[in-house]
Amino acid sequence: MKVATIRVGDGSTRAVRIDGDVAIEIPGVADVGELLATVGLDGARSATGTAHPVAALDFAPVVPHPSKIVCVGQNYKAHIAETHREPPQYPTLFAKFEDSLVGAHDDLVRPAESSLMDWEGELAIVIGREIRRAVGAEAEAAIAGYTVANDISFRDWQYRTTQWLQGKMWSASTPVGPVLATPDELPFQARIVTEVDGVVKQDGEIHDLVFGPVALIEYISTVTVLRPGDLILTGTPSGVGHVREPQERLEPGSVVSVEIDGIGRLVNRIVGDPIR
């Protein structure tokens, strides 16, 4: 099953179930985060609300108001190799905030303060139940599903210090969506592909992870409670612009897309900062 958060004409949002080329509203539920915290995915399966053609949908971030967004760096083996680092002993964690999120087709502004805007296509876990110190089957059962993310990074800010946060948390910089797909929707050998202006930059297999989804949930839930709708961005495969020779970056006018088999595709245009 696939569910999404869409924007409607009055400026509000609705949670919907995607049935082929039709989206069915889940009555009384504003977004996927609220869905997971209330009626759950079982409630979505039986919903019979207003129908919308999928082709006309305006996708909001799949979870617009997560209590936390935890990101994992250096987690794809191929990406670690291209950065000439050793595999980490523990997950490398940093955070984003709600203000960072945008929809699957929204424009991305390259801020006036940065000239090194980079792409990072990622698989994101969506948490479906509240957990703390989850182990094994409990951690796996907490996965409501998966979505697509682009952890847009501003490298000139990221590497100002040994802490990456300032290069990762920019407002309106992280598209997430278009849908939450339940785990059964993903083929085992699902691939993640990032393109810039139609040219493939990243092409990786989602299981090329040092720390898989269950291990990440076990580790993160040891540190903090995870709640319905929380997001975990699991890391990016090889092919980022920063390590290419010569280095590549996103410029105004570029279109960057990230697609994962079984989930869907983000497509975002880069625009210049209006304050420049």
Share of the chain above pLDDT 90, in %: 88
| Residue at token pair 């424009």 | 107
Q: What is the mean pLDDT of residues 148-160?
A: 95
| Distance from C-alpha of 63 to C-alpha of 234, rounded to nearest angstrom | 16
Q: Are strands 13-19 and 51-53 parallel, antiparallel or unpaired?
A: unpaired
Write the pLDDT tens digit of every residue in 199-217.
999 999 998 999 999 999 9
Q: What is the mean pLDDT of residues 73-82?
A: 84
Q: What is the mean pLDDT of the chain?
A: 95
Decide: 166 and 129 in contact? Cβ < 8 Å: no
Per-residue pLDDT at 85:
80
CATH 3.90.850.10 fits domain 69-272: yes
Q: What is the dihedral of CA 82, 76, 99, 5, to 10 degrees?
A: 130
Q: How confident is the model at residue 83 (pLDDT cuts 50, 70, 90)?
A: confident
Q: What is the DSSP string of 70-89?
A: EEEES-BHHHHHHTT-PPPS
Report CA-CA distances (Å) from 221 to 108, 134, 210: 31, 6, 18
User: 66 or 273: whose pLDDT is higher?
Assistant: 66
The DSSP symbol for 91 reads -
Write the pLDDT tens digit of every residue in 89-118.
999 999 999 999 999 999 999 999 999 999
Q: Are strands 2-7 and 13-19 parallel, antiparallel or unpaired?
A: antiparallel
Q: How confident is the model at residue 77 (pLDDT cuts 50, 70, 90)?
A: confident
Q: Which residues of the chain form CATH 3.90.850.10? A: 69-272
Write the pLDDT tens digit of every residue in 178-198.
999 999 999 989 999 999 999
Per-residue pLDDT at 78:
76
Write the pLDDT tens digit of every residue in 133-147.
999 999 999 999 999
Q: Are strands 101-102 and 174-181 parallel, antiparallel or unpaired?
A: parallel
Strands of the sheet containing 264-272, edge to edge, are 108-110, 264-272, 255-260, 191-196, 199-205
Asked if residue 69 has pLDDT above 80, the reply is yes
pTM of the model as a whole: 0.95
Q: What is the mean pLDDT of residues 227-252?
A: 95
Q: What is the dihedral of CA 76, 82, 86, 87, to 10 degrees?
A: 10
Asked if residue 276 has pLDDT above 70, the reply is no
Q: Which amino acid is at 56?
A: A
Q: Are strands 231-233 and 121-127 parallel, antiparallel or unpaired?
A: antiparallel
Q: How confident is the model at residue 226 (pLDDT cuts 50, 70, 90)?
A: very high
Q: Which two tokens stand for residue 141?
A: 């059962």
| Distance from C-alpha of 32 to C-alpha of 229, rounded to nearest angstrom | 7
| Distance from C-alpha of 45 to C-alpha of 268, rounded to nearest angstrom | 30
Per-residue pLDDT at 74:
87
